Amino acid sequence: MFSQHYRRMTGIHWLVLFGVILVAWMGLYAMAIPSDMRSLSQIYGLGFWQSLCVVTPDAAGYFGIFAMWVLMSAAMMAPTALPAFATYEELRSSTQVDFAPLCVGYGLVWFGYSAIAAGLQLFLFQLNLIDQFGQSLSAGLTAALLLIAGAYQFSNLKEACLSKCRAPLTFFMQHFAEGPFRNGVRLGLVCLGCCWALMALAFVGGTMNLAFMALATILMIFEKLPDIGRYVTKPVGYILIASGLWQLTHFI
């Protein structure tokens, strides 16, 4: 079923969406380059990119960190929503008109999450609980984040949100009359309910850690697949809880 969806992703709107995802990953890669490597770019006249890619809280400030979280959300969450987007497109007779409002509504939810996450990152940085690259400096914070994310894997809310992501046709048909924008917001809220805790683990792996971002993206994609997801969610929960308890021994 999903292979049929992907074969139909040939319209200009799909190319634009794939371009946004690619640009987001490229932006994250540029931001993740160490400052001493970026400084070499001045030799080649690329000082503009050096200033653009400063995303440490002390240098970039709130709006720089917010932009980083927006890129992270686009890079990590848009791929997980591709099957849902394709399903909605099949339900519409005029996809060129309706696809954009769906994406805008979806993205609006993650803009809100990014605004909150950026503020939280600055707050934790000021408390010296994370370093300038967004990685936890506290065994207690690391343990708390791992335990919260692990416990959330077993929650009824997580399961309810995943059930909707795994059956996008049923989900959209229930709310189809509300239009593409509101359906996009609903889909964004459902995805937020699935993934907010795993995204928050960026403060454990580091907000500039591309390896963490890639691993978390793959994990969230698998969780939303109907044939695979139910075999992924709870084992990941056990691993996160075990890791949190191990960290807790260092904190105590």
Give the model's pLDDT for residue 212: 85
Q: What is the pTM of this model?
A: 0.78
Q: What is the CA radius of gyration of the chain?
A: 19
Split at pLDDT 50, 70, 90, the class of 190 is very high
> 138: domain range?
2-251
Total structural domains within the chain: 1
How far from chain centre, in Å, is Cα 6? Answer: 21
Pair of tokens at residue 105: 């509504």
Give the model's pLDDT for residue 14: 53
Tens digit of pLDDT for each residue in 35-84? 444 444 444 444 444 444 445 655 567 888 898 899 888 888 888 888 88
Tens digit of pLDDT for each residue in 219-239? 898 899 888 888 999 999 999
Closest CA to 59 of 69, 47, 50, 46: 50
